[in-house]
Structure 1
Amino acid sequence: MNKINVADPGIKGINLRTNDVSEAEIKSCRICGSYKLERALEVQSNPNIYFTRCTDCRITQCSCLPKKAFIENLYNEKQNLLSKTEVNVGDRLGHAASHIAKNLYRQLNNRDRLLNTKVIHVLDFGGGTGQLSIEILKKLRKLLGNIQFELNICDYSKPELKKNIIGIKTKSYRTLSDLPELATFDICIASSILEHVTDPINDLFIIISKINRDGIIYMRTPWIIPLAALLKRIKIKIDTLYPIHLYDMGGDFYEGKVLRKLINRNYKIVMSRTSFINASPSKQFITYILSAILKMPTYIFGIKWPFCGGWEVIFKIL
């Protein structure tokens, strides 16, 4: 069977051994508790692991989570496979930062309270060294008029951060639980992270609880399983990046009624669209063109077209 990687060019999923798996086969949705699960795509046969879709909250999740020790090894500084994702984004870092900054600016430009504050507090969840978020804030400073930012990066590897960045003060934390109890933020950037964590809904709850009123949350996640299942029928296999990716979250999940009921806070979705193309047109030209073609129908059909590879949203807290 042919195998291609359009989910995240440059990194690959790996097969888990039986002793790497932490739990029995999933019986109910980890997000909403529903028993209405539909098998979506087999990942590996020994042990048997597959992705299953909840028909209530519409999230897709792996049937078995890796053990905690395996995950810690995956994330540690010496063998951090996810760092390759940042390298891949680095190929188009300027494009990614410009795209996200532009969309954040559209929401911030009319927020008088935020623009009149001395410092805008930003949370970057899962941002690694903060390379992307720092570039985003640099571009926002140019658009907003040199506003001061405090950037709090929360990443499992707790990397060394850049210091002495004009207009940007940085702090580093290992987990969301390590954040100061009374800390609140005006902006959260959670780009390509919720699919990696074992309990994304709990992390989302924590994030939303710490965002100030009129604050905004940017999230980007893969929506690759529907495409992978479709192509499998014609003997083309897409690397889903399991166990690096444990969840698949598309527009139907973010815009669904169940998620709104689960989140105990009022919010408005001010942007919901297919995510920007992650591949470099110069280094992954074929992947870039294929991604562009697959994303085009979403501009007509929206979330009814699940074959776009990824989704991005901005929540505004009311």
Structure 2
Amino acid sequence: MKATAFHCSAHLSDTELLPVERACPFCNSEARLAVASLQVNPSVDLMRCQRCGATSASRMPRPQTLERYYGNYYEEQAEQVTFDRPERLASHIVRNALGSLGALGGRDLMIVDFGGGDGTHSVLAARQLLERGARSVRIGLIDHNQTTVAVDDARIEVVRATDLAEIPLGAADIVLASAIIEHIPHPREILAKLFAALRPGGVFYARTPYVLPLMKLARAAHVNLDFTYPGHVHDLGARFWNGVAEHLDLGVPIQIIRFTPSIVETTFDRHFARTLAAYVLKAPSRVFKEHYGLVGGWEVFIRRTPAEAAGN
């Protein structure tokens, strides 16, 4: 079994790995405990940070290792969108962001889509923002995948960027980091840049896997649930995202506005068994909230708080 339908694990040699890292790549704490093994010979463990709650690989792949890994992935993966009916995710994002964005009438908006593939989700979100009164939407798209979805609306502009340094500070109304943070070995600086790209009142959305509890349950049943390392190098659940403002220095004041198990990727008409299993596993979280871990993934909507509100 795999933690995702779109990647698979690769056993890395010692020369393909960076040295063991003692500090958490998110909060820099050295108070970490090994909670699961990812591979042996050489050993790579999942380490849980006792401070911020992030779970990360003890050894990260070298940059050239990841280049080869993802190079093969994009060559072999014909499907560019890994979310059944991507308009569902776009609607979910817009619906939860609107309360913070305020009235859209006649406004020019900006979306930063970090790791958004060909831009399908951000373009669909842009269409919905236009339907709700925005005048235009500019999308800054950053991804290794260099294909871009076709856009037939002159009010939507998709601009390719190679680095977050190309994104103006404080310009974005929405920043999307959906299913991407778990792939980045050292994401702390990138997270800070993503929040810096938000304007005051803007909304950050992230969706990450949280599969360690499922891995432990599967192994107790003598089933191997593939973590998909080195594609995934972090496991980020409720405790991490709930404390992100406290444990990470993001450089801007923030407020969590939604904090919940992630939206189900699949639909009943396309992947019935997988979708049913996802809904059944996530259901107890409505009662037990972050104390229940068998959810497969977590998501968060975070608002960059205006300075005057942060001071109150």
Report whether the alignment pairs 1:152 with 2:145.
no
Task: For 1:123 and 1:50, locate their aligned partners in 2 and report how far apart those are by CA, in whole Å.
Answer: 33
Alignment of 1:1-318 (within 5 A): 4-5=1-2, 7-21=3-17, 23-76=18-71, 79-80=73-74, 86-89=80-83, 91-108=84-101, 111-112=102-103, 115=104, 118-142=107-131, 144-160=132-148, 162-177=150-165, 179-180=166-167, 182=169, 184-256=171-243, 259-318=246-305
Q: For this pair of structures, how many residues does the alignment match?
A: 305
Task: For 1:269 and 1:233, locate their aligned partners in 2 and report how far apart those are by CA, in whole Å.
Answer: 34
Task: For 1:225 and 1:84, locate their aligned partners in 2 and report how far apart those are by CA, in whole Å.
Answer: 29
Task: For 1:279 and 1:153, locate their aligned partners in 2 and report how far apart those are by CA, in whole Å.
Answer: 24
Instruction: Report the residue type matching 1:245 in the other structure.
Output: H
Deviations 1:182-203 (A, max 9, x none): 5721111111011111222211
Instruction: Report the residue type matching 2:25 in the other structure.
Output: R
Instruction: Report the residue type matching 1:15 in the other structure.
Output: H
Q: Give the gaps of 5 or more residues in structure 1.
A: none
How far 1:279 sits from its partner (Å)? 2.6
Is contact 1:253-1:259 (8 Å) kept? Answer: no
Instruction: Indicate the SS of the match to 1:19.
Output: helix
Between 10-19 and 232-241, the greater mean CA deviation after superposition: 10-19
Instruction: Report the residue type matching 1:126 in the other structure.
Output: G
Distance 1:30 1:302, change over 3 A: same
Is contact 1:10-1:84 (8 Å) kept? Answer: no
Is contact 1:155-1:175 (8 Å) kept? Answer: no
Distance 1:263 1:117, change over 3 A: farther
How far 1:222 sits from its partner (Å)? 0.6
Distance 1:299 1:20, change over 3 A: same
Instruction: Report the residue type matching 1:172 in the other structure.
Output: R
Q: Give the gaps of 5 or more residues in structure 2.
A: 306-312
Task: For 1:84 and 1:270, locate their aligned partners in 2 and report how far apart those are by CA, in whole Å.
Answer: 36
Q: Tell me the percent identity.
A: 25
Task: For 2:214 and 2:16, locate their aligned partners in 1 and report how far apart those are by CA, in whole Å.
Answer: 27
Task: For 1:317 and 1:304, locate their aligned partners in 2 and report how far apart those are by CA, in whole Å.
Answer: 26
Instruction: Report the residue type matching 1:215 in the other structure.
Output: G
Instruction: Indicate the SS of the match to 1:188.
Output: strand
When the two structures are superposed, what TM-score results if normalisation uses the length of structure 2?
0.89
Instruction: Report the residue type matching 1:120 in the other structure.
Output: L
Instruction: Indicate the SS of the match to 1:151.
Output: strand
